[in-house]
Amino acid sequence: MMRFSEISPDDFHDVQTIFNENLAYARLENRKLPLTRQAFTEEFLNPETISYMYRDETGPIAIIDYLPRHPVDHSTWIGLFIVVARYHHQGIGTAIYQEFHQHCLKNEPVIRLAVLPNNPIGRLFWERVGFTFERMSTSNTKQVVEVFVKRQDD
């Protein structure tokens, strides 16, 4: 059973909470916290991406934001996957990703994402769920990133 819901304006506080519980990651991204209402709206309520909140019986524990069709390469891009820090290294992120993949991405031939080079934990996570390094690039926020890819036939 999918426990994802599309992020709405009512999720502003829950998104803040998840970032506040992942301050090390927010610093890697050079993210300004607390999020402003405008930054929240631009990132999670825009018409180009789809943003989900994953909840369990304890409350919100993860955010996944993805771009169904990149305007240049036409592949699907995961823009953000963040799990509350207290759930790290327990297999919960892997289970959440697998559920998300099964419900939203299983028919996508190519999925890409970017990892910050100074985020070895993120890199290891994505490699464990089947992504492979493709190339270096620059993000839309002008940060150097490692692009990873997963193809349907992999």
pTM of the model as a whole: 0.92
Per-residue pLDDT of 84-106, as tens digits, reads: 988 988 999 999 999 999 999 99
| Close Cβ partners of 93 (under 8 Å, ≥ 6 residues apart) | 62, 81, 83, 87, 125
**Could you tell me the end-to-end alpha-carbon distance of the chain, in angstroms, rounded to an integer?**
26
pLDDT at 152 over 90: no
pLDDT at 1 over 70: no
Q: pLDDT of 23-69, one tens digit each?
A: 988 898 888 899 999 999 999 999 999 999 999 888 899 999 999 99
Q: How far apart are CA 51 and CA 71, in angstroms?
A: 18
pLDDT tens-digit readout, 114-146: 999 999 999 999 999 999 999 999 988 888 999
